[in-house]
Amino acid sequence: MSETEDRPAIDERLSRAINSSNLVPTKMDDDGGRIGTLELLAAAGWTGRKLEFVLGRALIALESEWDTSEQPRVPREHDIVALASVMPLRVDVLDEEGEPVREPNGQVKAVETTPKQRRRMAQTQAEEWYEKERVRLIGRVRTLPMAQKALIAWGTNHNIRSPESKALSMLAWWLDHRCPTCLGTKLDPVPVGGRGSVRCCKACSGTGERPLPFDDKHCQDGRQLERAMIDAKHRAMQQIKRFTASAHRG
Nearest to 152 by CA among 173, 137, 167, 138: 167
Q: Are residues 188 and 128 in the same domain?
A: no
- Between residues 116 and 6, which one has the greater pLDDT? 116
Structural domain range at position 94: 72-140
**In this predicted structure, what is the pLDDT of residue 216?**
83
Q: Are residues 129 and 76 in the same domain?
A: yes
Number of domains forming the structure of the chain: 2
Q: Are residues 133 and 186 in the same domain?
A: no
**Residue-wise pLDDT tens digits, 50-59:** 788 889 889 9
- Between residues 151 and 23, which one has the greater pLDDT? 151
Of all residues in the chain, what percent carry a pLDDT higher than 90? 32
Q: Which residues pair with 187 in a beta bridge?
A: 200
Q: Which residues pair with 178 in a beta bridge?
A: 209
Q: Which of 188, 204, 220 is the last residue of a domain?
A: 204
**46 within some domain:** no
Average pLDDT, whole number, for the chain? 78
Q: What pairing do the DSSP bridges indicate for beta strands 110-112 and 90-92?
A: antiparallel
Q: Are residues 135 and 186 in the same domain?
A: no
* Residue environment code for 28-65, b if the CB has 16+ CB neighbours within 10 A, otherwise e: eeeeeeebbbbbbbbebebbeeebbbbbbbbbbbbbeb
Q: How large is the average pLDDT for residues 148-154? A: 93
**77 within some domain:** yes
Contact 38, 24 (CB under 8 A): yes
Q: Which of 204, 219, 240 is the last residue of a domain?
A: 204
Is the pLDDT assigned to residue 192 strictly greater than 70? no
**1 within some domain:** no
156: confidence class by pLDDT, cuts 50, 70, 90: very high
236: confidence class by pLDDT, cuts 50, 70, 90: confident
Neighbouring C-alpha atoms within 13 Å toward the C-beta of 41: 29
**Residue-wise pLDDT tens digits, 93-149:** 887 887 888 888 888 888 899 999 999 899 899 888 988 998 899 999 999 999 999
**189 within some domain:** yes
77: confidence class by pLDDT, cuts 50, 70, 90: confident
Label residue 138 exposed, middle or buried (CB < 10 Å: 0-12, 13-18, 19+).
buried
**170 within some domain:** no
Q: Which residues pair with 100 in a beta bridge?
A: 94
**152 within some domain:** no
